[in-house]
Amino acid sequence: MKIFSYNVNGIRAAIKKGFLSWLEEYSPDVICLQEIKANKDQLDLEVFSKIGYKYNYWFSANKKGYSGVAVLSKTEPKNIQYGTGIDHMDFEGRNLRVDFENISVMSLYLPSGTNVNRLQYKFLYMKEFQEYITELKNTITNLIICGDYNICHEAIDIHDPIRNAKVSGFLPYERNWISDFLSSGFIDSFRHMHSEPNNYSWWSYRANSRANNKGWRIDYNMVSHKLKSKIKSAYILDNIKHSDHCPIAVELIL
């Protein structure tokens, strides 16, 4: 099973940049999208069906043109869970889960800490999301949480760890949260398969960052420990450029 995650920074903009032809060519079984910035009624859903994704699910923010997540699948899931049931999370359209027979896949868009108020909200979200997942794992053990976590875990995951040490996305509290999240029963699938540096999933639009590979690895496919032996490969598609992020992938043998 091939699972992709991709912060598209606006699904309509990504489509104009060739997203659909790329998706048809690479053909993952499931793709989790973040920051779709669109409501379902603003999209022509038939274009997804035509390339094999008849089963597509959209969870938008209440605020138009903001946030939002989606999951596109070639196979019909047995259950779809929109949101977490925690109002302040669901108001911004940040979690969508689809359950298949053997695994469940979640698309997650964790907030960024762009200012003091949003940073405090990010910390609240992190705390309550961890509590939610801890409870969820009591009933769903084969879980993959794909998405934009807006956090670099280790120094190897960011191009300049010293200068960014006090920047949201690489703060000690955020990094420790990722460590704790992994300790709670998850595997960073990419780092599980790759130990080399200079692998990133997001680049600022400023200062020619992408051309110079001055990036951050803030997108993850987190796989529950029970699926560890099923991980076949994990990789970053950093040559794909519909967004300031790029797609990331994990392949499982189920």
> If residue 13 lies in a helix (H) or strand (E), which one and from where to where?
helix 11-16
List Cα–Cα distances, 97 to 5, 14, 59, 77, 212, in angstroms: 13, 22, 10, 10, 35
Is 87 known to be catalytic? Answer: no
List phi, psi (to 5°) of 143: -120, 135
Contact between 149 and 218 (Cβ < 8 Å): yes
Q: Radius of gyration of the chain from Cα atoms? A: 17
- Of the candidates 182, 105, 180, 179, which has an alpha carbon nearest to the alpha carbon of residue 143? 105
Catalytic residue among 29, 90, 148, 238: 148
Q: How far is CA 237 from the centre of its chain?
A: 14
SS3 content of the chain, % helix, strand, coil (to 5): 30, 25, 45
Contact between 34 and 6 (Cβ < 8 Å): yes
List phi, psi (to 5°) of 105: -125, 130
Task: Return d(Cα 211, Cα 5) in angstroms, integer.
Answer: 22
Which residues are marked as active site?
A: 148
